[in-house]
Amino acid sequence: MFRPLFLQRRDSRPCRMRPQNSAAPAPPSSQPRHRRLRTRGSGGSRPAVRRALSGRGAPPRRNRFNFLHHFLTHRDMNHEIPTTPQTVLLTDSRSLSDPENSLFFALITPMDDGHRYIRELYQRGVRRFVVSRPLQEDAMPGAEIYHVADTLQALQELGAERRKEARIPVIAITGSRGKTMVKELLYQLLQPDYRVARSPRSYNSQIGVPLSLWDITPESTIGIFEAGVSRAGEMDRLSRMIKPDVTVITNIYDDHDEGFPSRTAKIAEKVRLIHGAEVVVYPADDTELAHAIKSQAIGEQKLMGWSRKDRSASLFVSTESRGGETRVTYMLHGRQPRRVTLPFTGNWQVENAITALAVMLLLEIPSQVLTQRMATLRPVGTRLQVSEGINRCLIVRDDYTCDFHSLLPALDFMARRRTAGLKMTVVLSDIAHDGMDATEAYAGIARLLKFRGVKRIIAGGAEISAFAHLFSDFDARFYPTVNDMYKAMTTSDFASELVLIKGTPSDVFDSFARQLEARTHETVLEVNLDALVHNYNFFRSHLKPSTGIVAMVKASGYGAGSYELAKSLQAHGAAYLAVAVLDEGVDLRQAGITMPIMVLNPKVLNYPQLFNNRLEPEVFDFDVLTEIIDAAMRAGIKGYPVHLKIDTGMHRLGFREEDLDRVIEIIQNQDAIRVCSVFSHLATADCLDMDEYTRAQLELFDRCSHKVQAAFPYRVMRHILNTAGILRFPEYQYDMVRLGIGLYGIPVLNNGMEEGLRPVSTLRSVIIALKSYPAGTAIGYGRHGLLERDSLIATVPVGYADGVNRHMGCGRCSFLVNGTPCPTVGNICMDACMIDVTDAQLPAIGDPVEIFGPGNPVTALASKLDTIPYELLTSVSPRVRRLYYRES
- The span from the CA of 24 to the CA of 344, in Å, is 56
In this predicted structure, the answer to whether residue 79 has a pLDDT above a threshold of 50 is no
% residues pLDDT > 70 (the chain): 89
Q: Is it the case that residue 357 has pLDDT exceeding 90?
A: yes
Tell me the C-alpha distance between 274 and 177, whole Å: 18
**Residue 413: which pLDDT band, with cuts at 50, 70 and 90?**
confident
Tell me what pLDDT residue 324 has: 81
Task: Please write the tens of the pLDDT for every residue from 384-395.
Answer: 888 888 888 889
**Which of 101 and 580 is assigned the larger pLDDT?**
580
| 235-271 confidence digits (pLDDT tens) | 999 999 999 999 999 988 865 556 788 889 999 999 9
160-195 burial string, b = 16+ CB within 10 Å, else e? bbbbeebebbbbbbbbbbbbbbbbbbbbbbbeebbb
Query: Per-residue pLDDT averaged across 194-208, rounded?
Result: 89
Average pLDDT of span 780-797: 95
The pLDDT assigned to 3 comes to 54
Inter-CA distances, 159 with 146, 152, 155, 208, 503, Å? 18, 11, 6, 10, 30
Q: Are 224 and 329 in contact (CB under 8 A)?
A: no
For residue 7, the model assigns a pLDDT of: 54
If you average pLDDT over each of 37-51, 52-66, 753-767, which comes out highest?
A: 753-767
- 303 and 358 Cβ atoms separated by less than 8 Å: no
**152-162: per-residue pLDDT in tens?**
888 888 889 88
pLDDT for 94 equals 81
The torsion defined by the Cα of 412, 415, 417 and 418, in degrees rounded to 10, comes to: 180
The mean per-residue pLDDT over the stretch 503-512 comes to: 82
The answer to whether 739 and 767 have CB atoms below 8 angstroms apart is no
For residue 22, the model assigns a pLDDT of: 34
Give 836-841 contacts, CB < 8 A, sequence gap 24+. Answer: 836/787, 836/791, 836/792, 836/793, 836/794, 837/767, 837/770, 837/792, 837/793, 837/794, 838/789, 838/790, 838/791, 838/792, 841/347
- Say if residue 28's pLDDT is above 80: no
**Least confident range of 110-119, 167-176, 832-841:** 110-119
Average pLDDT over residues 789-809: 95
pLDDT attached to residue 682: 96
Residues 744 and 536: their CA atoms lie apart, in Å, by: 9
Fold: same for 384-518 and 761-886? no
Q: Does domain 33-156 have CATH number 2.70.98?
A: no
Asked if residue 144 has pLDDT above 60, the reply is yes
Active site residues: 554, 781
Reported as a pLDDT band with limits 50, 70 and 90, residue 4 is: low
H or E, element range at 884: strand 881-886
- 337 has a pLDDT exceeding 90: yes
- Residues 8 and 3: their CA atoms lie apart, in Å, by 7
At 772, is the secondary structure helix, strand, or coil? strand
Mean pLDDT value across residues 1-9: 52
Distance CA 450, CA 456 (A): 10
Nearest to 513 by CA among 379, 416, 405, 393: 393
- Give the pLDDT band (50/70/90) at residue 230: confident
Across 22-31, 167-176, 425-434, 622-631, least confident range: 22-31
Q: What is the predicted pLDDT for the residue at 379?
A: 80
What's the whole-number mean pLDDT along residues 284-303? 87
Residue-level pLDDT at 80:
42
- pLDDT, residue 37, reads 40
Least Cα distance to 863 among 813, 792, 798 occurs for 813
Enter the pTM of the model.
0.76
> What is the predicted pLDDT for the residue at 139?
80
Q: What is the band of 56 on the pLDDT scale with cuts at 50, 70, 90?
A: very low
Is residue 880 predicted with pLDDT exceeding 80? yes
Class of domain 384-518: alpha beta
Type and span of the H or E element at 351: helix 347-362
pLDDT band at 35 (very low <50, low <70, confident <90, very high): very low
Is the pLDDT score of 727 beyond 60?
yes
> Residues 746-765: pLDDT tens digits?
998 878 888 889 999 999 99
Contacts with 464 (C-beta within 8 Å, 6 or more apart), sequence order: 428, 429, 430, 431, 442, 478
Stretch 717-733: mean pLDDT, rounded? Answer: 96
Q: What is the mean pLDDT of residues 597-603?
A: 85
**Which pLDDT band, with edges at 50, 70 and 90, does 67 fall under?**
very low
Give CA–CA dist 239/247, Å, rounded: 10
Q: What's the pLDDT at 888?
A: 61
Alpha carbons 708 and 701: distance in angstroms, whole number: 10
Q: What is the per-residue pLDDT for 146? A: 82
User: Looking at the domain that runs over 527-744, which CATH code has it been given?
Assistant: 3.20.20.10
Pairwise pLDDT comparison (511 vs 613), residue with the higher score:
613
Select the more confidently predicted residue: 295 or 675: 675
Amino acid at 539: F
Confidence band of 89 (pLDDT split at 50, 70, 90): confident
Question: pLDDT averaged over the chain?
Answer: 86
- Topology annotation, domain 761-886: Lyase, Ornithine Decarboxylase; Chain A, domain 1 (2.40.37)
Amino acid 25: pLDDT: 39
User: 824 falls in which pLDDT band (50, 70, 90)?
Assistant: very high
Residue 332: DSSP 8-state: E
The pLDDT confidence band at residue 222, using thresholds 50, 70 and 90, is very high
Res 363 pLDDT > 80: yes
Distance CA 418, CA 670 (A): 40
DSSP 8-state code for residue 102: E
pLDDT digits (tens, 9 = 90+) for 453-486: 999 999 999 999 999 999 999 999 999 999 999 8
Kindly tell me if the per-residue pLDDT of 15 is higher than 80.
no
Going by pLDDT thresholds of 50, 70 and 90, the confidence category of residue 723 is very high
Residue 670 has pLDDT above 80, yes or no: yes
Tell me: pLDDT of 637 over 60. Answer: yes
Q: Which helix (H) or strand (E) holds 77?
A: strand 77-82
Query: What is the number of alpha carbons within 13 Å of residue 883 lying toward its C-beta?
Result: 23
Going from N- to C-terminal start, the domains of the chain cover: 33-156, 168-375, 384-518, 527-744, 761-886
Domain at 168-375: CATH architecture: 3-Layer(aba) Sandwich (3.40)
Confidence of residue 435 (pLDDT cuts 50, 70, 90): low
